[in-house]
Structure 1
Amino acid sequence: MVGISVKRLFVATIAALLHFSSAQADAGFDLSPGQPGRVRAEKDERAIAAIPADFEFVTPGKFTVAVSPGGPPLATYATDARTVIGADPEYAQAVADSLGLSLELVPVAWIDWPLGLTSGKYDAVISNVGVTEQRKEKFDFSSYRQGLHGFFVKSDSAITSIKKPKDAAGLRIIVGAGTNQERILLKWNEENIAAGLKPLELQYYDDEAASLVALASGRADVIVQPHAQLVFIAARDRKIKRVGTLSAGWPERSDVAITTHKGSGLANALTIATNGLIESGIYSKILDRWRLSEEALPRSETNPPGLPKF
């Protein structure tokens, strides 16, 4: 019996890995370099007027933005393996339109954006950067999305909703070691134990494929990762579904923001531009196109409260 179980697990693992490596276009997202459905915006004179008179863009007439192509739907390389596309690049284009500028995207490794921004290589970073109190010491922020983690389960799971700690009591949850979501779930676990509820069982795997195999095989009940990543996986594989979201700043909201050099004066103009996009409906169209409407903000703020130092 043990041999049969191991054999079945091996076959399931190989099948899953082959499926995960299939073309991303199957996910129903437009990953073409041309992006015919890209949403564009008109000039926003209020935002343009808010740009400080002495502010110098890296390249005159252009809004130079760093983005890390970490994966869809936020930012990735198109099917030509050269053009950067996704929700963040499209939003950057709309902001550039609002400012009356052309967009210059600069693909960077995530670890490199702070030094590049500080040294003046680009005007802003639009790459899923979360607002934290520590980062606010060096950078200014204009919020444009909620920072969310997602609770996802197998499509046929009996679990329908996870909104608060007691909803997760007794569940086997896959989470990344050392992540913010792990920190929050450990607090949830403490609350549940104090309330006499069953503890959470946190599980850790080396990679995404192993995590999804564990979920598919029934060895885990729930997977928790950044929401956008799981949205794409759910669309690609059609084997998991969302049953809840978790703020990165739980129990408070935590925002993702355009990041600019501290004191550059550009943040207020970018906040005004984002609010203009929200008012015009362009903002919601961009999020809808990339299936991220759950991450929408009602309004952009300059330097909103960020995650505290831990």
Structure 2
Amino acid sequence: MIGRRAILSLLLGAATTYWSSAPALAQPFDLGPEQPGRVRAERNADAIKAIPKGFVFVEPGSLTVAISPSGPPLATYATDAKTVVGADPDFAQLIADSLGLKLTLLPIAWADWPLGLASGKYDAVISNVGVTEQRKEKFDFSTYRQGLHGFYVKADSPVTSIKEPKDAAGLRIIVGAGTNQERILLAWSKLNFAAGLKPLDLHYYDDEPTKLIALLAGRADVIVQPHAQLVFIAARDRNIRRAGTLSAGWPLKSDVAITTRKGSDLVDALTAATNGLIATDKYRQALARWGLEEEALERSETNPPGLPKS
């Protein structure tokens, strides 16, 4: 049985800082507007040189970046209800620093980014946009993070590691209906059945608090969601832990990228800036601040192969 305090902890999630029992999250998530711990970078001469001659920024002297504040730790509104904070705003600041520009963040609804970018409302989008072959027809990409889903279990669960389909055989797994995670798990279940193993037992619930209560009550063994979401929940509640991750594009990889207008030619400067940050370790420091080191890339690529058209 789950006590009243545990249930309230799941249902009440707003506070200025959130602590984690994991070593990587020994410091709190700071959701205050001041962000004194934000990592900053020096100007990158090579990245600045790669900015096309005559390129016109939306706001002179500033990099205007659209971000959807859809939830921590990637991007959310701070405690002042107006400042956008999180891992993506931190990365946007590092890119602006590298290009010798100020940063202007423009909060948007995630679904609005393609039209806004195509119409020139902002210079770039840094908002968990994955690279796909269809998107590459209209946009350019500079990769900056892996797209991962997470397998999380109760802190005292006997499940220690989930890396491949056989590791999940017979487990009761909470997943959202119609999601990319469900697509992958259904494929895993078929592979297990073909190999003579137990299929996955998928469970569906209407909302996140109900999912988490079901996991803690022992009605399921695992919850699967985008990795960053579960990193935040684990840091906040300290009663679930990671058992594994998988690429959001399984069986292919799925990288997240800075997105720019096709043909604007800003992409090479952004890729150079990202690789400069990786080389100086500023990049990993910024991800670590939000518990997302596991999503780090070894290098940024310009327009790599993306997920194929469905």
Pick the TM interval, shorter chain: over 0.9
Question: What is the alpha-carbon distance in structure 2 between the residues aligned to residue 185 and residue 222 of structure 1?
Answer: 12
Q: Which residue of 2 aligns with 1:100?
A: 100
The runs of 5 or more residues in structure 2 that have no matched partner are 20-27
Secondary structure of the corresponding residue to residue 105 of structure 2: strand
Of residues 22-31 and 228-237 in structure 1, the stretch that sits farther from structure 2 once superposed is 22-31
Question: What is the alpha-carbon distance in structure 1 between the residues aligned to residue 183 and residue 264 of structure 2?
Answer: 33
The 8 Å contact of residues 149 and 225 in structure 2, kept in 1 or not, is answered as yes
Question: What is the alpha-carbon distance in structure 1 between the residues aligned to residue 10 and residue 166 of structure 2?
Answer: 34
**RMSD of the TM alignment (CA)?**
1.3
The 8 Å contact of residues 143 and 255 in structure 1, kept in 2 or not, is answered as yes
Q: Does 1:23 align with 2:21?
A: no
Secondary structure of the corresponding residue to residue 302 of structure 1: coil
Question: What is the alpha-carbon distance in structure 1 between the residues aligned to residue 186 and residue 55 of structure 2?
Answer: 45
Of residues 20-29 and 159-168 in structure 1, the stretch that sits farther from structure 2 once superposed is 20-29
Length, aligned pairs only: 301
Question: What is the alpha-carbon distance in structure 1 between the residues aligned to residue 232 and residue 10 of structure 2?
Answer: 14
Runs of 4+ in 1 over 6 A off after TM superposition: none
Show CA shifts across 1:250-276 (max 9, x none). Answer: 122210000001111011110000000
Calculate the TM-score normalised by the size of structure 1.
0.94
Shift of 1:205: 1.1
Shift of 1:20: 3.0
The 8 Å contact of residues 64 and 122 in structure 2, kept in 1 or not, is answered as yes
Quickly say closer, same or farther: Cα 1:18–1:285, change in 2 above 3 A.
closer
Question: What is the alpha-carbon distance in structure 1 between the residues aligned to residue 117 and residue 257 of structure 2?
Answer: 14
Show CA shifts across 1:138-182 (max 9, x none). Answer: 111000000000000000000000000000000011111111111
Q: Does 1:237 align with 2:237?
A: yes
Question: What is the alpha-carbon distance in structure 2 between the residues aligned to residue 171 and residue 61 of structure 1?
Answer: 54
Q: Which amino acid aligns with 2:276?
A: G
Question: What is the alpha-carbon distance in structure 1 between the residues aligned to residue 76 and residue 306 of structure 2?
Answer: 26
The 8 Å contact of residues 143 and 257 in structure 1, kept in 2 or not, is answered as yes
Q: Which amino acid aligns with 2:154?
A: K
Question: What is the alpha-carbon distance in structure 1 between the residues aligned to residue 161 and residue 309 of structure 2?
Answer: 30
The 8 Å contact of residues 17 and 209 in structure 1, kept in 2 or not, is answered as no
Secondary structure of the corresponding residue to residue 103 of structure 1: strand
Q: Percent identity?
A: 72
The runs of 5 or more residues in structure 1 that have no matched partner are 1-7
5 Å matches for 1:1-310? 16-17=7-8, 19-24=10-15, 25-27=17-19, 28-310=28-310
The 8 Å contact of residues 142 and 259 in structure 1, kept in 2 or not, is answered as yes
Q: Which amino acid aligns with 1:26?
A: Y
Question: What is the alpha-carbon distance in structure 2 between the residues aligned to residue 181 and residue 133 of structure 1?
Answer: 20
Q: Which amino acid aligns with 1:278?
A: I
Q: Which amino acid aligns with 1:164?
A: E
Show CA shifts across 1:96-135 (max 9, x none). Answer: 0000000000000111111110110000000111111111
Secondary structure of the corresponding residue to residue 133 of structure 2: coil
Secondary structure of the corresponding residue to residue 140 of structure 1: strand
Shift of 1:22: 3.9
The 8 Å contact of residues 189 and 200 in structure 2, kept in 1 or not, is answered as yes
Question: What is the alpha-carbon distance in structure 2 between the residues aligned to residue 297 and residue 261 of structure 1?
Answer: 23
Question: What is the alpha-carbon distance in structure 2 between the residues aligned to residue 299 and residue 125 of structure 1?
Answer: 19
Secondary structure of the corresponding residue to residue 134 of structure 1: helix
Quickly say closer, same or farther: Cα 1:18–1:296, change in 2 above 3 A.
closer
Q: Which residue of 2 aligns with 1:3?
A: none
